[in-house]
Amino acid sequence: MELKQYAWSLLILRLVLGFNFVLHGFSKFSGGIENTSRWFDSIGLPGILAYGVALLEVLGGFGLIMGLFTRFLSALYMIVMLVAIFKVQFSRGYLGGWELEATFFAMAFALLIAGAGLYSVDHALFPSKKILKILHAADRDARETTESAGPEPDLTGSAAREDQTARPEQAAQA
């Protein structure tokens, strides 16, 4: 996969995951964070944790969208998804239970491993030396390929027209 395709893939992954977390966080606040807090208490989690999770989902979701602190946020989301799976959803089975949380976990894991990618605030603030080496190598290879390929082929057809006009003269000389 080319580096730009990889970068676009990470961007799409971040946008989708971040957007979903923002929506889930807003729903906790719009449904009444106190209700979410009481529900957390009812399943054996400290109610105050509802505020932290909702804030993480909203602020962290925007962070993912921008590609800011991507690896750190991904690790936090993985923890939240594991708690959601095993504390809430697991007994319901995979379908209709914890498939969404498992998908979010896998997406966060991919971002934890790969990072935010080229199109991110993380990359603008802390450019990866590995990515920069790959970009420089790709640029060097592209220049070498262009230089070693020889002259550009004539795609306008002017060489073919010259051949056709030269043929009658060649026939007359023969």
Ranges of each domain in the chain? 3-125
Q: 33-40: long-range contacts at Cβ-Cβ below 8 A with a sequence spacing of 24 or more?
A: none
Per-chain mean pLDDT for the chain: 85
pLDDT at 148 (0 to 100): 62
Quick check: 162 pLDDT over 60?
no
User: What's CA 116's distance to the chain center, in Å?
Assistant: 7
| Residue range 49-55: mean pLDDT, rounded | 97
Quick check: 45 pLDDT over 80?
yes
Q: What is the largest CA-CA distance in the chain?
A: 102
